Each structure stands twice: as C-alpha cells, then as structure tokens.
Amino acid sequence: MTKIEEAKKTLEILKTIPEKALTDEHKQAIASLEDTIKAVSVETMPGTLKVSAKGGVSFYGLGRFPVTLFKSQWPIVIKAVKDGTIEQFIKDNDKYLSDKADTPETKATKEAMRMKVFGFSKDQIQGKRTN
C-alpha cells in the first residue's frame, strides 16, 4: 500500500468518528493526514488536468501546450504506460529522441541520425510544412 493510500484509508476511518467524540489528538491526526495527502498528490502530479472547450481531457505541465485527448483515447495511453510499451519504446529509440536538456551539438547529431535512418528532411524535423 502506498503512502497516499494508507493516509486516505486512515483518514476515512478517523472521519467515521462522530464530531463530539473527536479528541484534539484526533483532530490533529486528521489535519496532518489531509496535509500529507495534499502534499503527496502535488508531488506525484507534475501538471494539471482540465476539460477542454471541445470536451477533451487536457493535461497541462509538460510543455508550452497541453496534451489533449478525448476520454476514449486516454485508456489506450494509460494501458501503454502500465504495460511498459512507452518506456520500452523510449529505451529502444533513445539515440534518436530529443531531450530538452540536449546541447546544440547533440541535437544536430540526433537530427542527422533521424534524417539518415528515417528519411526525414531537415524541414520535417524542424516542423516546417512541406507541401
């Protein structure tokens, strides 16, 4: 059981105690558990979720723009995360993938590799339209 699950379960039990029967110790424990749950939730959630104007689920916090998918698409991504598909893909293709921390030299090297291996043009890699 994770720290947050344990805290939630204990809080749930404490909240079943009638208000009149709560001691100061109980009240302090409840406040402490609520703080713990809030802190752990913030630590484990790198971004925020919102409902988009078109009814999608938008995840903010990864970059300049949110990642927005419809609710039927998220289970596919979640499954791929849980079964390790995405992590394995990243490991298998690490030498081609960019990272925000890449130096200009590293970016140029990876760009050249993608052009050679995958046949991308420089314009495609830089996100320019090629009609």
How far is 48 from 86, CA to CA, in rounded Å?
Answer: 21
Comparing 18 with 128, which gets the higher pLDDT?
A: 18
Helix (H, G, I), strand (E, B) or coil at 50: strand
* Domain spans of the chain, in order of start: 3-44
User: 64-84, pLDDT tens digit by residue?
Assistant: 889 999 999 999 999 999 999
Please report, for the chain, how many H helices and E strands are present, in that order. 6, 3
Q: Is the pLDDT of residue 16 over 80?
A: yes
Largest CA distance in the chain: 73
